[in-house]
Amino acid sequence: MGGIFGTISKKSCVADLFYGTDYNSHLGTRRGGMATYSEDKGFVRSIHNLESSYFRSKFEASLNKFEGCCSGIGVISDTDAQPLVMNSHLGQFAICTVSKIANMEQLEAEMLSHNMHFAEMSSGKTNTTELVALHIIQGKTFREGIENVYHHVKGSCTMLILTTDGIICARDSWGRTPLIIGKKDGAYAVTSETTSFPNLGFEPCYELGPGEIVRITADGTEQIRPANKKMQICSFLWVYYGFPTSTYEGRNVEKVRFDNGYQMALTDDTEVDCCSGIPDSGTGMAMGYAAGKRVPYQRCIAKYTPTWPRSFTPANQAMRSLVAKMKLIPNVAMLKGKRVLFCDDSIVRGTQLRDNVKVLFDQAQVKECHMRIACPPLVYGCPFINFTSSKSDMELITRRIIERFEGDANKNLDKYATTGSPEYERMVAAIAEELGLTSLRFNSVEELIRAIGLPKCKVCTHCFDGSSAYTLSECADD
Residue 283: name the closest of 355, 339, 345, 219 by CA. 345
DSSP for residue 237: I
pLDDT in tens, 21-74: 999 999 987 889 999 999 999 999 998 888 777 888 888 888 989 988 999 999
How do the domains of the chain map onto residue ranges? 2-228, 251-474
Query: Which long-range contacts link 132-137 to residues 24+ away (Cβ below 8 Å)?
Result: 132/95, 132/97, 132/99, 132/101, 132/157, 132/159, 133/84, 133/86, 133/95, 135/107, 135/111, 136/90, 136/95, 136/161, 137/86, 137/88, 137/89, 137/90
Q: Give yes or no for a cis peptide into 226 (omega within 30° of 0).
A: no
Residue type, 302: A
Equal fold, 2-228 vs 251-474 = no
- Predicted local confidence at residue 121, as pLDDT: 67
Confidence band of 324 (pLDDT split at 50, 70, 90): low
- Predicted local confidence at residue 186, as pLDDT: 96
**Max CA-CA distance within the chain?**
70
**373-406 exposure pattern, b = at least 16 Cβ within 10 A, e = fewer:** bbbbbbbbbbebbbbbebeebebbbbbbbbeeee
Chain mean position to CA 63? 27
Residue 478 has pLDDT above 60, yes or no: no
Sheet holding 42-49, edge to edge: 42-49, 31-38, 71-77, 2-9, 187-191, 180-184, 203-207
List, as one string, the DSSP characters of 247-292. Answer: EETTEEHHHHHHHHHHHHHHT-----SEEEE-TTTTHHHHHHHHHH
Q: Report the range of poorest mean pLDDT among 247-256, 283-292, 301-310.
A: 301-310
When pLDDT is averaged across residues 153-174 and rounded to a whole number, the result is 97
pLDDT in tens, 426-440: 999 999 999 999 999
Q: What is the domain class of 251-474 according to CATH?
A: alpha beta
* Alpha helices for 294-350 (secondary structure H): 317-327, 332-335
Residue 471 has pLDDT above 50, yes or no: no
For the segment(s) 2-228, the CATH number from 3.60.20.10, 3.40.50.2300, 3.40.190.290, 3.90.1300.10 is: 3.60.20.10
Residue 113 has pLDDT above 50, yes or no: yes
Q: Report the range of poorest mean pLDDT among 172-176, 278-282, 285-289, 294-298.
A: 278-282
pTM of the complete model beyond 0.85:
yes
- Predicted local confidence at residue 316, as pLDDT: 61
- Predicted local confidence at residue 352, as pLDDT: 85
Q: Give yes or no for a cis peptide into 280 (omega within 30° of 0).
A: yes
Cα–Cα distance, 278 to 343 (Å, whole number): 6
Confidence band of 80 (pLDDT split at 50, 70, 90): confident
What contacts 60, CB < 8 A, 6 or more positions away? 18
